[in-house]
Structure 1
Amino acid sequence: MADPIVTLVTSADFPNLTEDEAGLPDALRQRGIEPRVAVWNDPDVDWNASDLTVIRSARDYARHVNKFRKWAASVPRLLNQPELVEWNSDKHYLRELAAHGLPTIPTTWLEPEAHYSKHQVHTRFPADGDFVVKPAVSSGGRGTGRYTATDATSRSEAILHAQHELRHGRSVMVQRYLDAIDQTGEVSLVFLNGIVSYRVEKQAMLHPRYRNENEVKVENVLNNRPPSEHELVWAERVRQVLHEVIRERTGRDHLMLFDRVDLVPAAKDDPNEFYLMEISLIDSSLYLSADPQNLEKFADAIAVRASW
């Protein structure tokens, strides 16, 4: 019996996967799997030749989101599933999760069809503190900027940033920057086949003058350890709501191969309460190089699904 073929999906920017995932093909070979790496929009790839297709380093999908969604819908045995790609590719999903009771970062949504004037954009920014402007469809931190509400130059730059995104038909998110992130960083919980497998703590990336237009954000992992009991409680809370929302939207349950849940502290003096920052079901970094066991766990998870 031939070894199952698993194609790892990447982008032209990373034809051999990202550095974090470079060891994945060898790990799959060790499990009796024939790995292949293919660029998602390469017209010469026969996606039907794979027993399983896994989205990984497709860091450019947000720049071509409609084409990517159409591609995903055409690929047999794609993980995560096309319905999840459709839902997760636009961060408006955070509104659905918030409506189901998950505490998300308070967000002001600016929609391109509203045709805001410069003054109208200005009035939708916070009056004090730092805040973040980013498009609702983005990947790898592209299009994200941190600004200071009381600094006239910074505020003017934020207005130009938001107007640029809106002019190109992109919805914009305006979120207050949480100072607690600078003290405690961010936490990512990584689910594999529906189970919390590991947890990483990341350094805050958005320094006060941060603006990322085109580069993929490289996150600095500070700590890789098992989730705490309180984090596991949060993980289960997120898992239940996520599956409820997906079930309502698609009419059925989905077992996700991978799911990265990003949490940020709600306050710097309370490390046990969080806001949900993001749920990543498409091209999210899974921090496979932060610990050798992370790579082994992900390869095991793929091998399980390839055997079904």
Structure 2
Amino acid sequence: MSKPIVTLATSAALPNLSEDDAPLPDALAERGIEPRVAVWDDPDVDWGQAGLVVLRSVHDYANRRDEFVEWAATVPKLANHADVVRWNTDKHYMVELEKRGMPTIPTTWLEPEQKLNKHQLHTRFPAGGDFVVKPAVSSGAHGTGRYTAVDGYSRMAAIEHAMELLNEGRSVMVQRYLESVDNRGETALIYMNGLVSHAVEKEAMLGGAFRPDVEAPPEVAHAREATAAEWQLGEQARNAIHSYIKSRMGRDEQLTFCRIDVVEGTQGQMHVLEVSLVDASLYLSTTPGAVDNFADAIAVRAFW
């Protein structure tokens, strides 16, 4: 009996996987799987012969989303499914999840078709405190800036940032910046095949205005025990996710991997900041057993 094949799809910038994912091929081999690594847009790869394809460091999708989702639709056996990829690569998915009861950070959506001028942008920004401007299609913190509402120069920089994105035909999100991110970071809750794997604390990354000539800082994450309230919010989010997938995509399946980022708001209220089902960093190196959890989750799918 031949071994099942699992291909870990990555980007040209990380053709040998990220450092965090590097132990994964050996862990898959230990489970009787033939592991492969391939760049998602490599024209020489026959994805029909790639077995189960698991998305990993495909962070470049944000600049080529249409091409990426079209590619995903051609992959015969993709984890997570191509319909999920199309949906989760545009942060408008947060609107759908909020409708299903998932607590989110209040967001002002700015759309290119609104043809907003600078004054209209100004009126849509918060009147006080810090706030964030980011594109609806983005990976990590790329394209994201943090601004101060009461500082004229900072506010003008936010207007220029949003206007540039809108002129590129990109939707824009405006959200209040929660001070708890500076004090205790974000918590990432990580699930594999519907089971809890581990949680990490991600340190604050946003220090100021977005600058296209400056790379986004690397994420810094540490293992931590999530609170009962955080896990409860994670389950609430997962229920919303699966409700959407079942009702809109006509399928009811566990996701091979799912990362839910949560933050604490005012008066201790918890909010979901992001749901990552495509290029999610899973912080496998932070927690003993995390690599094995992921390899087990993949193996279940590979041997189906």
Q: Find the counterpart in structure 1 of residue 241 from structure 2.
A: 242
* Cα distance in 2 between the residues matched to 1:86 and 1:51: 21
Aligned mates of 1:117, 1:111 — CA distance in 2: 12
In the TM superposition, residue 31 of structure 1 has moved relative to its aligned partner by 1.4
SS in structure 2 at match of 1:102: coil
Amino acid in structure 1 at the alignment position of 2:162: A
SS in 2 for 1:279: strand
Query: Aligned partners of 1:96, 1:253: CA distance in 2, in Å?
Result: 17
How do 1:72-91 and structure 2 match up within 5 A?
Answer: 72-91=72-91
User: Residues of 1 paired with 2:300 and 2:209: CA distance?
Assistant: 41
* 1:211 counterpart residue number: 210
CA contact (8 A) 2:90 2:137 kept: yes
The structure with the largest strand share of the pair is 1
Identify the residue that residue 232 of structure 1 maps to in structure 2: 231
1:292 to partner: Cα distance: 3.3
- Report the 3-state secondary structure (helix = DSSP H, G, I; strand = E; otherwise coil) of the residue aligned with 1:146: strand
1:254 CA drift (Å): 2.5
Q: Does 1:285 align with 2:281?
A: yes
Note the alpha carbon deviations across 1:20-59, whole angstroms, 9 max, x for none. Answer: 1111111111211111111111111001112200000101
Query: Residue type of the partner of 1:282?
Result: V
**Distance in 2, Cα, partners of 1:172 & 1:243:** 26
Which residue in 2 is equivalent to 1:298?
A: 294
How many angstroms does 1:193 deviate by?
A: 0.2
Q: 1:63 maps to which residue?
A: 63
Matching residue of 1:22: 22
1:276 aligns with 2:266: no
Q: For residues 102-123 of structure 1, give each alpha carbon's deviation from its aligned partner in whole angstroms, at most 9, with x where no partner exists.
A: 1100100000011111111111
**2:42 matched to which residue of 1?**
42
Q: Which amino acid aligns with 1:16?
A: N
Alpha-carbon distance in 1 for matches of 2:145, 2:152: 15
Q: Take 2:100 and 2:59, find their aligned partners in 1: how far apart are those partners?
A: 29
Give ranges in structure 1 of 5+ residues lacking alignment. none
Query: Aligned partners of 1:218 and 1:210: how far apart in 2?
Result: 16
1:221 Cα deviation after fit: 1.2
Q: How high is the TM-score relative to the length of structure 1?
A: 0.95
User: Which residue identity does 2:149 align to in structure 1?
Assistant: A
AA aligned to 1:261 is: I
CA drift at 1:274 = 0.8
Query: CA, structure 1 residues 210+202, in 2 after alignment: closer, same or farther (shift >3 Å)?
Result: farther
Structure 1 residues 181, 174: closer, same or farther in 2, change over 3 A? same
Distance 1:217 1:68, change over 3 A: farther
Deviation for aligned residue 1:72? 0.4
Name the residue aligned to 2:139: 139
Q: What is the alpha-carbon distance in structure 1 between the residues aligned to residue 286 and residue 68 of structure 2?
A: 29
Q: How does 1:161-240 map to 2 (within 5 A)?
A: 161-207=161-207, 209-211=208-210, 213=212, 215=215, 217-225=217-225, 227-240=226-239
Change (3 A) 1:217 1:46: farther
Greater Cα offset, 29-38 or 78-87 = 29-38
Partner of 2:107: 107
Closer, same or farther in 2 for the Cα pair 1:216/1:41, shift >3 Å? farther
Q: Which amino acid aligns with 1:56?
A: R
Return the alpha-carbon distance in structure 1 between the equivalents of residues 216 and 298 of structure 2.
Answer: 25
State the AA in 2 paired with 1:259.
Answer: C
| Structure 1 residue aligned with 2:2 | 2
| Alpha-carbon distance in structure 2 between the residues aligned to 1:10 and 1:216 | 19
Contact in 2 for aligned 1:133/1:162 (Cα 8 Å): yes
Q: Which residue does 1:264 correspond to in 2?
A: 263
Partners of 1:195 and 1:294 in 2: CA distance: 12
Q: Distance in 1 between matches of 2:16 and 2:62?
A: 20
AA partner of residue 197 (structure 1): S
Q: How many residues align?
A: 303
In structure 2, distance between residues paired with 1:212 and 1:77: 38
Cα distance in 1, alignment partners of residues 211 and 8 from structure 2: 27
Equivalent position amino acid for 2:67 in 1: K
